[in-house]
Structure 1
Amino acid sequence: MPVPFIPTPADTQDAQRHLQQLQRTPPTGRLAGLLEQLLEPLAAGKAVQVLTLDDEISTQQAAELLRVSRPYLVKLIEDGRLPHRKVGPRRRLHLEDVLAYKAGLDAQRQAALQALASDLQELESD
């Protein structure tokens, strides 16, 4: 289990300084976004936790990544919505498959929010 990094006031000031440097001369690519996502909560004095994942993850790790219960994730697997393989009695999922499923969920949520916002604007204009 990863241990959270709880910043000291000096860490917070250092993160604020580095975040300002990033904003002045931002690096390009995906790494820039990752650095910013890491430094923003640190600059606000919040604890962060960094977790490294293998290519294959356990059902518990996948459930935590999707922010669902493990029994619900197992149901998704049994319904054929998430591919997996068995290693002995345990199920293993490819991280890429779990992230693709999460991206699909996020897209559905975004579409539902857009539809709701459109409906609200329509109601306000009536």
Structure 2
Amino acid sequence: MKGVVMTGAALKQETYLPEAIPQVAQVYDFLQAHEKTGRGAVEPRYFLAGATAGDQVELPVEVYRAVRQVVEALQQGLAVTVAPQTQTLTTQQAADLLGVSRPTVIKLLDGGKISFERSGTHRRILLRDLLAYRQQRRAEQYDALDATSVEIDDEEDLDTALQQLREARRVVAARRRGIAE
């Protein structure tokens, strides 16, 4: 792991490789054991400790989750990249985050699918709005997958199974176009 002291202006994307952190297994084991003890309704609290007694600060839940995700990925032998994001994104940054083209993001914005603000001629998207859209889109994709799944009986005729699949695809396509079935 690279030892980097971060100041507000020096935040940058960093990649951490698992073999560079020999203690990751220890941290992973500690986290696993701690979660398995389950102390009822008591909320877990996590601290970052300094070198001297009493030199500690409590970690917010969001920071703990980020640390937990990094440690789990490293334990699995995966590299981890931490990329700071601003709260307001350009259309290109939004496209990169969604994994689509910039023109596609423009269509989504102009179509009212994602909220945005204008700064002169530029569109600015709040990160939370983009993440909400991404979550909604994933839910819709999973619903579409569920809608196209069909129970196929081993005894059933292949033509009947294919017809059921065609009907399911037709229903999903109609729903996507906004036509009520």
Q: TM-score, normalised by structure 2?
A: 0.57
What is the DSSP-based 3-state SS (H/G/I as helix, E as strand, rest coil) of the residue aligned with 2:142?
helix
Q: What's the counterpart of residue 67 of structure 2?
A: 35
Count of aligned residue pairs for this structure pair: 122
Q: What's the counterpart of residue 15 of structure 1?
A: 24
What is the DSSP-based 3-state SS (H/G/I as helix, E as strand, rest coil) of the residue aligned with 1:93?
strand
Supply the RMSD in Å over aligned alpha carbons: 2.5
The aligned amino acid for 1:22 is L
Q: What's the counterpart of residue 91 of structure 2?
A: 59
What is the DSSP-based 3-state SS (H/G/I as helix, E as strand, rest coil) of the residue aligned with 1:82?
coil
Larger Rg belongs to? 2
Which protein has the bigger strand share? 2
Structure 1 residue 111 corresponds to structure 2 residue 143? yes
Gaps of 5+ in 1: none
Which protein has the bigger helix share? 1
* 1:67-106 to 2 correspondences below 5 Å: 67-106=99-138
Whole-Å separation in 2 of the counterparts to 1:99 and 1:3: 20
Gaps of 5+ in 2: 1-10, 36-43, 46-60, 157-181
Query: In percent, how many aligned pairs have the same letter?
Result: 31
Structure of higher RCO (CA pairs closer than 8 Å, 6+ residues apart): 1
Q: TM-score, normalised by structure 1?
A: 0.77
What is the DSSP-based 3-state SS (H/G/I as helix, E as strand, rest coil) of the residue aligned with 2:106?
helix
Alpha-carbon contact 2:14-2:83 (below 8 Å) kept: no
Deviation at 1:44, TM superposition (A): 2.8
